[in-house]
Amino acid sequence: MNKRSITILQLYPRDMNIYGDWGNTLVLQRRLEWHGYSVNLTEYNPGDSFPDDVDIIVGGGGQDSGQDIIQNDLLAISQNLHKLANDGVPMLVICGLFQLFGKFFKTQDGHIIEGISLLDLETHAGPERLTGNIITENKEFGEIIGYENHSGQTFLGAGVTPLGKVIKGAGNNGQDDSEGARYRNVIATYMHGSLLPKNPAIADFLIDKAVTRKYGEFTPSVIDDRFAEQARNVAVKRPR
């Protein structure tokens, strides 16, 4: 019998893939294989035709210039992304795409990069970059550990909840202790690192949602996360 398969779509790897964001996709691929699934890895860049059959979407960070480049294309596939998100497709969007899944990002020079308003939030470039190691707390995932580097200060509206509460670091805006955002099975965060190697609970959340949506059930394998644990232990001790 053919193995059950899951399709992962990496959004804009050409323009939005700094800080090792591609590593998140590799973690999803490897853990899916460990859980017994085969993986179909696809990428989407500006001008490509948007695939119909997608189970998980991953999008990375980018400089303001990368966000400018993808803006029009992202707006053109907005409907596809809204439809998939509202249908429960799990997504992980980091930093630059976190901002553009919201309403807009207003840059330091005052121009507006419009987003797709899938997430009820807006971002304004602040006077200083918020940079350094960050730890947040989330009831479902425990401590979330990563690294942030953004000028944008993001403010959440009522339609989303924060992903975590900041324990160490700046988070969305350095003011209200929120970090990231959640809407349905969409997870958005400023955390690079990559995020998923140090936070396998989030990887398995995305996998669980994708597999359950496609096949009706998900029975996880027991995975040896010793190395992830070691990485977490080191990362939490690092200075800001």
Active-site residues, by number, are 95, 192
> Which residue among 152, 164, 169, 197 contacts ligand GLN (CB under 6 A)?
152
Nearer of residues 77 and 95 to ligand GLN, judged by Cβ: 95
Helix (H) or strand (E) holding 135: strand 121-138
Q: Does residue 90 touch ligand GLN according to CB under 6 A? A: no
Give the residue closest to ligand GLN by C-beta: 61
- Site membership for ligand GLN, residue 169 (CB under 6 A): no
**H/E element holding 215?**
helix 200-215
Stretch that binds ligand GLN, among 61-69, 135-143, 170-178, 211-219 (CB under 6 A): 61-69
DSSP state of 163: S
What does the alpha-carbon distance between residue 143 and residue 237 come to, in Å, rounded to a whole number?
Answer: 13
Of the ranges 38-46, 57-65, 68-76, 173-181, which one interacts with ligand GLN (CB under 6 A)? 57-65
The candidate with the shortest Cα–Cα distance to 164, out of 189, 138, 143, is 138
Strands 91-94 vs 38-44: parallel, antiparallel or unpaired:
unpaired
To which H or E segment does residue 150 belong?
strand 142-156
The candidate with the shortest Cα–Cα distance to 179, out of 191, 171, 187, is 171
Q: Of 7, 40, 45, 151, which one interacts with ligand GLN (CB under 6 A)?
A: 151
Q: Prior bond to 5 cis, omega within 30?
A: no
Q: Is 95 in the site for ligand GLN (CB under 6 A)?
A: yes
Q: Which of 40, 149, 167, 205 binds ligand GLN (CB under 6 A)?
A: 149
Residue 193 in the binding site for ligand GLN (CB under 6 A): no
CB nearer to ligand GLN: pick between 96 and 115: 96
The residue ranges that bind ligand GLN (CB under 6 A) are: 61-64, 67, 95-96, 149-152
